[in-house]
Structure 1
Amino acid sequence: MIKLSGIEKYFFAGTPNQVLALDNINLQIQRGDFLTVIGSNGAGKSTLLKAVAGVISVDAGSIKIDGLDVTAHPEYMRARDIGRIDQDPMASTAADLSIEENLAIAYLRGQKRGLARAVTSQRTGYFRDTLRNIGLGLEDRLKVPVGTLSGGQRQALALVMATIARPKLLLLDEHTAALDPKAARQVMEITERLVQQYKLTTLMITHNMEQALRFGNRLIMMHRGRVILDISAEEKGKLTVAALVDRFTSTSGTVFDDDRALLA
């Protein structure tokens, strides 16, 4: 279980430009939950994921993973338990290394072993079987540099890398936002397949309200650093995008201002 208690994060603290980016966030995520996260511009969505991953520190509150308080743990220590993908297909992979080498690095995340020892014949077979599971034909291109892949292929590979060590938590920060519609649909299909197959606890930010309603068993909406809506699978299954926007407006008292979410 992932438990966030009283999380607060300030940017530019103590200056006239001080911003409260996360305001008393309290959230419990059960093992196997797939949460979609949506919200207005500047709501704190990405800040929340960065705080959980240890990319940024928090100013108050605690973060626990399976009962272990990781609040003070740096990013590299949390990486053993957390898989993470950002928007940029180039960010989660090493372009100059082969597909096989990228997978080997991901497989040994958190372990002190060199790349030369990471690639073995046994692991190569495992990598090939794992790639075959996503259906893009990458299992026959293990020696190919990742930089030669398309954005969609790289993001699909990043998904495999993020999940290959079966993390306790998978964090997805608008991981289809930079892709064309066809590639985005393909990557989301792979995402859903891997999350279900490995029963991964997942927190996914999306700017696409249709995605937020379609995927996962729970939806949270953020506004001005707070979680203002927490919607169960049963409830969100009955919602339309228009109804979700109305819920946001009535709860926050403001008009939803993310055009990307409304036009996607």
Structure 2
Amino acid sequence: MGLLLPVVGFAQKADSSKNTSVKKIYDLIHIKGKPLIVIDGIIYDEDSKPFDTNNIAAIEVLNPPGSENIYGKGAKDGAILINTKSLQTAPTDTYASIKLDSITYVLNGKSSTEKELKTLDPNNVLSISILKNAQDSLSNGSQRGKTLVVITKSYAIKSYQAKLSSLSKQYEQYLKAYHNDDKLLFIINGVKYPFSSRERIEKLYNIFFNDGASNKFELTYVSGIDSIPSSLNINTN
């Protein structure tokens, strides 16, 4: 799919380039041409704001023509995919900032406790929301002032994968072959998500499981050929 670069070595080069323009990334990685830069799923151009290279958590380089197949002509020289530390890390003081009087705790759709929530790995937390006078968060319809609802990334991934497997045999076979869908290209309402990220996980989970989830959607699976990745197109419009 692409070339994974050692982040430690990259960070050593980046120490003297803090808050550098993303254009300097070309020089740091020593790549010929002008590959497209994608940071946390967002395409950056020459006019983008300065970027702290010390905030990089992972880098992957996609070579053409596979990069162009995913991102279009702007990636004819390849694409540099960057995940930042800020995307991967959830705020650790989230629970401490919440007033704990009269709160019902819900973790992944099941009743929980403050103690259990505090044992969670912050990097595995996908979303946290507080509902006032909520009655729908628990199966028994209990109500106690406010409800703190936490969804973890691992639960969200397992949930949407099970749903998609029930809807698409080709997707189910892909999961059995590769054991995950990290490298599967998802196209959600026309927007491409070529690798697993917090944003992609949240979008996929919300399509099927949030309160406003629609029962109307179209799925189209396309098997990859050579450098062209397999893809799953989901349209909810």
Q: TM-score, normalised by structure 2?
A: 0.32
In proportion to residue count, which structure has more helix?
Answer: 1
Q: TM-score, normalised by structure 1?
A: 0.29
Bigger relative contact order, structure 1 or 2, given CA contacts below 8 A and separation 6+?
1
Over alpha carbons, which structure has the higher Rg? 2
